[in-house]
Structure 1
Amino acid sequence: MPPGMESNLNSGSVKVIIHRPIEGNDAEKLCTDARNVIADTLLLHGYGVH
């Protein structure tokens, strides 16, 4: 946010999706799995992944 704009409010909506926990001990695999779940959910709801 640009300096001086902290008090500005923008109208809109936010949708929060809580996914099932991802279990494991390998940090790289956990990150990859989390990214894949997020990307799949974005695509499911009509948002492209860049």
Structure 2
Amino acid sequence: MFDPQQARLTVLELENGSYVERALVSGDEVFEAELPFPVKVVPADLIRSGG
């Protein structure tokens, strides 16, 4: 889940039928995942304008 006002990403993962928080990153912090495919997300980059 992404909160654009806080530039914060909450990463949840389904475990035994319930969602569990796996990561909470904000600003220029980097979240990296391998599944279901490799990806890097920087919350601040999601709200920066292209100028």
User: Fold match, TM over 0.5?
Assistant: no
Give the TM-score normalised by the residue count of structure 2. Answer: 0.20
**Bigger Rg, structure 1 or 2:** 1
Give the strand-richer structure, 1 or 2.
Answer: 2
Higher relative contact order (CA 8 A, sep 6+): 2
Give the helix-richer structure, 1 or 2.
Answer: 1
